[in-house]
Amino acid sequence: MVQQVTKGIKISVETNYEGSFYKNYKIQFAFGYTITIENQSKDSVQLLARHWNILDALNNVETVKGDGVIGRKPVLKPGESHTYTSGCLLTSPFGAMFGHYNMVNFTTTKKFKVSIPTFKLSAPFAIN
């Protein structure tokens, strides 16, 4: 598990390898990840958007941006958390992801970024 705290918001990430398959005559490696967003601050906050950088072993970078996470924009009161699971496809058996969430603090009405720590994606057979 990888964890990081930014401005009182703790991000925890767990990953797993889902398998491989062929799509359009190219092999694809499927990875899942579960993220828990925990509000350790004294203010209520809302997740507005996400920004991901997905890297594979061949140095290809894919950027993914969008509103919320899996169709939701969770509001977290102090002490609350939100957990969701998603996934990605790589063209190599290992890679990494990192990024940030855009959030708003309801007390100050200020928007801020919460870092998503870099986490590795590795197929078990590709690890030395």
Q: Per-residue pLDDT for the chain (128 aa), expressed as one digit of tens each?
A: 999 999 999 999 999 999 999 988 989 999 999 999 999 999 999 999 999 999 999 888 999 999 999 999 999 999 999 999 999 999 999 999 999 999 999 999 999 999 999 999 999 887 65
Pick the CATH number of 2-126 from 2.30.30.60, 2.60.40.1470, 1.10.443.10, 1.20.120.420: 2.60.40.1470
**Alpha carbon distances (Å) from 41 to 2, 10, 12, 38, 61:** 20, 9, 16, 9, 33
The H-or-E segment that residue 121 falls in is strand 111-122
